[in-house]
Amino acid sequence: MKWVYIENISEYKAQEVEIRGWVYNKRSSGKVRFLLIRDGTGLIQGTIFHADKDFPLFRIFDELTQESSVIIRGKVREDSRAPGGYELEISDIEVIQIARDYPITPKEHSVPFLMEHRHLWLRSQKQHAVLQVRAETIRAIRDFFDGRGFRLMDTPILTPSACEGTTTLFETTYFDQKAYLSQSGQLYNEATAAAFGKVYCFGPTFRAEKSKTRRHLIEFWMVEPEVAFATLQDIIELGEDLVMYILGRVLEERKQDLEILERDPAPLEKISKPFPRLTYDEAVKLLKEHGSKIAYGDDFGAPEETLLSKIYDQPVCVTHFPAATKAFYMQPDSGRPDLALGVDFMASEGYGEIIGGGQRIHDLELLEKRLKEFNLPREAYKWYLDLRKYGTFPHSGFGLGVERTVAWLCKLPHIRETIPFPRLLYKIYP
């Protein structure tokens, strides 16, 4: 008998097939039994009818518990009463293992309990749907860049020094030296951009920040493109195209998952480019008009990001931040050197920043001056300064946080469900 996956079940109408999976739930009503099986690709209901209550299949059915692993065989039938529209008339159940006392029941559980059982929670329908959206988002990102002639250039996770002196790094040892887990592949991207023109890196990043909010993870995934000779304007358009591409793909390919999550797709479907663009000055003015107490010169905190993304029903691009709030390598505006040519993309519906980036300093003298101002050790950045010494080039790039993007697409209240095993403040189990 042919082993098939539930997602393909409609191709096997009226045929005898085999499904391998786990018991999601079961119900019985005297001489009818219903078995809900999941196999990783979907859910299907199996039925058993028999007049004799001692029917052998009934006895096997009665032994089954939630998450027991089984192989079931039977005939596929279309039935509008079944969840999913198809069901299997079960002729045989082969038990691989009876699961005892599966901790996650079909009723309510608290977040701490579910996080403690994250390795099992992944099997639940909504978690499955979120991670399908994540996988689709990642696939879309790679297709987007690969399709535009970008080269994937993996950057190191173990690094000899801080990309930034200001943020908190995870320190480890590298034989007899100190080493740190990467916070960003950007500096290395600038080197590969000079070799390949258009590059991107995609990998995990680590930040030892004591952040305990709905939008921070200790370990998260970020895609970072870097384009040689691109300006701030060029990179804003690239970011818009990327966001539109991800949106289109998820809306097209994962509609069912958004439905499972009860995520109304309408606000996402309304999004179109170009996104509204504001300078920092304009944004501060607008925030003050809407009651924010932000002082000019302050970086946006969570409440400002949320407020800003609620004012528009589109993602918003904010540019020209005060240079003092931004990284040392940000190119200053030619007219107003106190402003940095940076851009933050705020997702709609209150989700805040999903992209941060900008144009990098390409002038050697200016970069050396900035390193001094930020008290960064020149020796550690020797190779980085070489990029300005040998054929320097204006260039720009950004980083898009995968988890924040997925949380927005799925409209989740917290980022922690957007990655299979989140690393949270003080929490590394399971």
| Interacting residues with RNA between 180 and 219 (CB under 7 A) | 183-187, 205, 207, 209-214, 216
Q: CB-wise, 252 or 430, nearer to RNA? A: 430
Q: CB-wise, 217 or 246, nearer to RNA? A: 217
Interaction of residue 161 with RNA, rule CB under 7 A: no
Q: Are 46 and 90 in contact (CB under 8 A)?
A: yes
What's the closest the beta carbon of residue 136 comes to RNA, in angstroms? 23
Q: What number of CA atoms fall less than 13 Å from residue 205's CA on the CB side?
A: 24
| Interacting residues with RNA between 320 and 339 (CB under 7 A) | 326-327
**Residues 392, 362: Cα–Cα separation, whole Å:** 6
Interaction of residue 380 with RNA, rule CB under 7 A: no
Query: Angle at the Cα of 146 (from 141 to 148), degrees rounded to 5?
Result: 100
What's the closest the beta carbon of residue 106 comes to RNA, in angstroms? 4
Alpha-carbon torsion angle 121, 122, 124, 129, nearest 10: 140
Cα end-to-end span (Å), the chain: 38
Query: Angle at the Cα of 135 (from 140 to 254), degrees rounded to 5?
Result: 80
Interaction of residue 97 with RNA, rule CB under 7 A: no
**Residues 87, 85: Cα–Cα separation, whole Å:** 7
Q: CB-wise, 3 or 374, nearer to RNA? A: 374
Binds RNA (CB under 7 A): choice among 2, 14, 112, 177 = 112
Question: Contact region for RNA (CB under 7 A) — 102-110, 266-274, 307-315, 383-391?
Answer: 102-110
What's the closest the beta carbon of residue 313 comes to RNA, in angstroms? 21
Tokens of 382: 């020797």
**Residues 304, 82: Cα–Cα separation, whole Å:** 47
Going residue by residue from 386 to 415, which x/- string records binding to RNA, judged by CB under 7 A?
Answer: -------------x--------------x-
> Can you tell me which residue has the tokens 């109304």?
264
Tokens of 243: 């966001």
Tokens of 107: 């009723």
Interaction of residue 159 with RNA, rule CB under 7 A: no
Tokens of 380: 């550690």
**Residues 135, 257: Cα–Cα separation, whole Å:** 12
Q: CB-wise, 31 or 285, nearer to RNA? A: 31
Binds RNA (CB under 7 A): choice among 106, 267, 297, 337 = 106
Question: Contact region for RNA (CB under 7 A) — 133-141, 270-278, 367-375, 419-427?
Answer: 419-427
Q: Helix, strand or coil for residue 399? A: strand
Question: Contact region for RNA (CB under 7 A) — 68-76, 109-117, 146-154, 385-393?
Answer: 109-117
Displacement of CA 151 from its chain's centroid (Å):
21
CA distances from 416 to 14, 130, 132, 254, 422 (A): 42, 11, 15, 20, 6
| Interacting residues with RNA between 43 and 62 (CB under 7 A) | 45, 47, 49, 51, 53
Interaction of residue 349 with RNA, rule CB under 7 A: no
Number of residues that bind RNA (CB under 7 A): 66
> Can you tell me which residue has the tokens 């097209």?
252
Question: Contact region for RNA (CB under 7 A) — 165-173, 251-259, 275-283, 370-378?
Answer: 165-173
CA distances from 82 to 12, 27, 140, 257, 352 (A): 16, 13, 32, 18, 40
Lay out the sheet containing 395-401: strands in order across: 151-152, 198-206, 219-228, 395-401, 352-360, 339-347, 316-322, 277-279
**Residues 74, 87: Cα–Cα separation, whole Å:** 9
Interaction of residue 83 with RNA, rule CB under 7 A: yes
What's the closest the beta carbon of residue 274 comes to RNA, in angstroms? 22
142 phi and psi, to 5 degrees?
Answer: -65, -40
| Interacting residues with RNA between 301 and 320 (CB under 7 A) | 301-303
Interaction of residue 147 with RNA, rule CB under 7 A: no
Interaction of residue 293 with RNA, rule CB under 7 A: no
Cis peptide before 274 (omega within 30 of 0): yes
Question: Contact region for RNA (CB under 7 A) — 25-33, 131-139, 251-259, 373-381?
Answer: 25-33
Q: CB-wise, 31 or 178, nearer to RNA? A: 31
Question: Contact region for RNA (CB under 7 A) — 105-113, 247-255, 276-284, 308-316?
Answer: 105-113
Interaction of residue 115 with RNA, rule CB under 7 A: yes
**Residues 189, 202: Cα–Cα separation, whole Å:** 11
- The residue ranges that bind RNA (CB under 7 A) are 25, 27-32, 34, 36, 45, 47, 49, 51, 53, 65-66, 79, 81-83, 87, 101, 103, 105-113, 115, 163-164, 166-168, 183-187, 205, 207, 209-214, 216, 222, 224, 299, 301-303, 326-327, 356, 399, 414, 424, 426-427
